[in-house]
């Protein structure tokens, strides 16, 4: 299989921490071009990460005729614009989550790309980890019975006003950064869409971004509850409570690359069982699936409709945070 020539927009820390190692290990991609609005930063990144070309703008990466696919880890406010620019240039897109700032932007960008025959995939890497594949299988075969409730907590502490997560204009805030995971995973486990949501949102009085958000997603009986925060000690946990038992993922989203994870399963037949999964690089698994789809001409492994559905829930959560009422999705 010929390596796909990849372009990267921006010199994000996330790329270096999460994406570069699996890209190198897999040999499914060729790191062709990286771009920054400051060319010296692009040159430094190209030397560090082995890119063939360094550009002083994002547009030059997109316009590089050798680039076949583009990874977008830019600030959230820029996602929709650069999805469309990549589509104009005929480049497939792997875009960081959330896909855009709202459902209208997502629908517009996805329709634009679709009309040009361009694949767009939201980079929800957690779905490719074996623990999540097992969790979904457990739900499918009814080991814990019909899900009645899902409880999710995801948090970290960051009060740096200069950080992009604390800048409203850039699409900062807890919902966009980590709430999107709680929403996505609840939809995955319930295997359907919520009908309405209720949310309470606390904002930083200076940064004007949401820093503590609790929400209820009503799936027509079963409910998912989550709390996400950028002002709490680091924590992540997902628990599913069914009619017969329960399952718990103790590190559901930021999975370790080099050590196994545990899934606790209680199927009502005796005590809980601890199942071990991994080690597995969920970013590498995502990149493999993305590359296979590109090389085979298959649809994106995570369909664009899923990204749009997640944005619709995010919109409803923000509406509920303002109204104090249940809001339809």
Per the CB < 8 A criterion, the answer to whether 300 and 128 are in contact is no
Per the CB < 8 A criterion, the answer to whether 100 and 106 are in contact is yes
In the block, residue with structure tokens 């709390």: 227
Q: Is the pLDDT of residue 272 over 90?
A: no
For the stretch 213-245, pLDDT in tens is 999 999 999 999 999 999 999 999 999 999 999
Which of 124, 142, 141, 132 lies closest to 275, judged by CA?
Answer: 132
Residue range 253-270: mean pLDDT, rounded: 86
For 229-239, letters b (16+ CB in 10 Å) and e give bbebeeebebb
For the stretch 142-184, pLDDT in tens is 999 999 999 999 999 999 999 999 999 999 999 999 999 999 9
End-to-end CA distance of the chain: 42
At 191 the pLDDT is: 96
At 290 the pLDDT is: 98
pTM over 0.75: yes
**Residue ranges per domain, the chain?**
4-124, 126-284+311-328
Residue range 288-293: mean pLDDT, rounded: 98
For the stretch 35-54, pLDDT in tens is 999 999 999 999 999 999 99
Q: Is the pLDDT of residue 276 over 90?
A: no
Residue range 274-292: mean pLDDT, rounded: 93
CATH number of 126-284+311-328: 3.30.360.10
Q: Is the pLDDT of residue 271 over 80?
A: no
Band (pLDDT 50/70/90 cuts) for residue 138 is very high
Give the three-state DSSP class for 163.
coil
CATH number of 4-124: 3.40.50.720
């Amino acid at each position: 299989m010929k390596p796909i020539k990849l372009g990267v927009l921006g010199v994000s820390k996330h790329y270096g921490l999460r994406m570069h190692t699996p890209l190198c290990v897999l040999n499914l991609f060729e790191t062709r071009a990286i771009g920054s609005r400051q060319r010296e930063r692009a040159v430094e990144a190209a030397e560090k990460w082995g890119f063939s070309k360094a550009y002083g703008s994002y547009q030059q990466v997109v316009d590089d005729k050798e680039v076949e696919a583009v990874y977008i880890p830019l600030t959230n406010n820029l996602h929709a614009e650069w999805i469309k620019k990549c589509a104009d240039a005929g480049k497939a897109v792997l875009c960081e989550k959330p896909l855009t700032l709202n459902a209208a932007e997502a629908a517009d960008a996805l329709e634009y790309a679709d009309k040009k025959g361009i694949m767009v995939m939201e980079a929800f890497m957690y779905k490719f980890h074996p623990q999540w594949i097992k969790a979904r299988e457990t739900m499918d075969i009814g080991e814990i019975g019909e899900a009645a409730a899902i409880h999710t907590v995801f948090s970290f502490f960051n009060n740096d006003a200069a950080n992009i997560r604390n800048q409203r204009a850039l699409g900062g805030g807890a919902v966009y950064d980590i709430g999107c995971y709680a929403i996505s995973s609840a939809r995955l486990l319930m295997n359907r869409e919520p009908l309405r949501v209720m949310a309470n949102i606390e904002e930083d009085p200076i940064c004007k971004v949401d820093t503590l958000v609790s929400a209820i997603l009503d799936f027509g009986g079963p409910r998912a509850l989550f709390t996400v925060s950028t002002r709490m000690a680091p924590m992540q946990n997902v628990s599913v409570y069914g009619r017969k038992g329960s399952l718990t993922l103790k590190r559901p989203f930021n999975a370790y690359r080099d050590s196994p994870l545990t899934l606790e399963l209680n199927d009502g037949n005796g005590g809980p069982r601890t199942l071990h999964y991994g080690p597995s690089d969920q970013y590498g698994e995502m990149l493999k699936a993305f590359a296979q789809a590109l090389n085979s001409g298959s649809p994106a492994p995570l369909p664009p409709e899923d990204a749009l559905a997640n944005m619709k829930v995010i919109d409803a959560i923000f509406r509920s945070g303002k109204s104090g009422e249940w809001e339809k999705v």
